[in-house]
Homo-oligomer: A and B are copies of this chain.
Amino acid sequence: MTIIERLKNKDIDPCIEKIAKQEKTTVEFIVAGLLSGEIVIAKNISRDLKSPRAFGKGLSTKINANIGTSNDHVCLEEELKKVEAAVRLGADAVMDLSTGGELAQIRKDILVNCPVPLGTVPIYQAVKETVDSGKKITDLDFELLFEVIEQQAAEGVDFMTIHFGVNRATTSVLARNKRIAGVVSRGGSFLNKWIEKNNRENPLYEEFDRLLKIAKKYDVTLSLGDGLRPGCLADASDAAQMAELAVLGELVLRSRKADVQVMVEGPGHMPLDQIQPHVIIAKRLIHNAPYYVLGPLVTDVAAGYDHITSAIGGAIAASAGADFLCYVTPAEHIRLPGIEDVKNGVVASRIAAHAADIAKKVPGAREWDDAFSRNRKALDWNKQQEMALDSEHFASERKLMKPQDEHVCTMCGKYCAMKD
């Protein structure tokens, strides 16, 4: 039985207690959120998750690190190092977005090495198998996709991004409303092309109940993908994006009715002044399901620094109610991220999440800053290092330039204002 079904039978999964402690809240609070659907625990029925996590209202903002091979670059060892680094630096979830190499084997190894919830986008595998067999993307057989989804669920994947909302209705809205960047979600773009080419409804949308059955069987949390998310500022909050969100809101209610845990994905690129209004409206449309945003990036022009553009947008989004931030690395828009990119992406995203948690008054968030600042005022460099968001980096930076007086730093030296 799923976590939700058991809860309804008054059987509380042990991970809920662990999570309540983590979140400095009560088991009752988590249970109430799970039953209302405002909180999810992404945990496959077969996974013995070392570090379970809950996502949603009233909880600390979580962050996800995307990793995975591409057809241009395949190195399993590197991907496992990315998982290790991401989790060590504080990622609450990892998504394996591999599209190159032996996907099943890569996923299996990542699953074993990932102590936090693991997500996937199953359409990548189905499309890869289609293309590898010499067919076009638009020849994708959805029976294959359903099989892949069940295969990945059986392997233990905790949550899956599936683009149910890219359907005939929303793609026709898209077609009528001019965009600069078009469709930038890979899954969304496959489906948009498939629908157009085959002149048929998206089977994922049409057969949503079939998906719900698989999700329920393996207790997989559905992450309703925003296939029509804006890929540039000009496309943000347009008719297609809002139409898809409304469809996803309907599917949230159907998932909850089926006792399937569900969250919803959001943008993308968005002007800073739209982010707070967007999150408020989105949370309304999706009936307060956990909202999982990618960025948002507050400018299009800073490729090479999109961990920063998305930290700005992510902090604002999370403080307005987004629950889960997908990191963006400095490599975004340029190349597949390496390990250093993953580290920089995780840190930037954690900064955004923590800044938002302070604003949202999440229990325990501000205490960290106050304790840290007491140590800064006391010029206690060891304790500062210990408590720093990235302790290792703090230490190596401090070593780069030694002050004459070890109590201060080389910025102000003997004129340090903190010194009495």
Q: Report A's interface with B, CB cutoff 8 A.
A: 70-73, 99-100, 124, 127, 131, 180-186, 188-190, 231-234, 269, 271-273, 298-305, 307-309, 311-312, 315-316, 319, 330-338, 347-348, 351-352, 354-356, 358-359, 366, 368-370, 372-374, 376-377, 384, 387-390, 393-394, 397-398, 400-401, 403-404, 409-415, 417-418
Contacts and interface: CB of A to CB of B under 8 A. Distances in A.
B370 A234 contact: yes
B180 A377 contact: yes
Contacts of A355: 271-272, 298-299, 309, 312
Contact of A348 (B273, B308, B338, B359): B308
B347 A305 contact: yes
A299 to B, nearest CB: 5
Contacts of A269: 373
A334 B394 CA distance: 8
Given A272-B359, A304-B390, A336-B401, A309 B351 contact: yes
A376 B308 contact: no
A314 to B, nearest CB: 9
Given A271-B359, A355-B272, A376-B333, A70 B315 contact: no
Given A303-B384, A312-B312, A319-B272, A234 B394 contact: no
B181 A373 contact: yes
Contact of A315 (B272, B347, B369, B413): B272
A322 to B, nearest CB: 13
A98 to B, nearest CB: 11
A71 B143 CA distance: 71
A180 B373 contact: yes
A38 B358 CA distance: 33
Contacts of A388: 301-304
A232 B237 CA distance: 36
A103 to B, nearest CB: 13
A401 B335 contact: yes
A412 B186 contact: yes
A334 B403 CA distance: 10
B99 A415 contact: yes
A320 to B, nearest CB: 10
Given A186-B417, A302-B347, A332-B411, 8 more contacts: A71-B413, A185-B417, A231-B417, A232-B370, A232-B377, A301-B369, A333-B376, A335-B397
A234 B411 contact: no
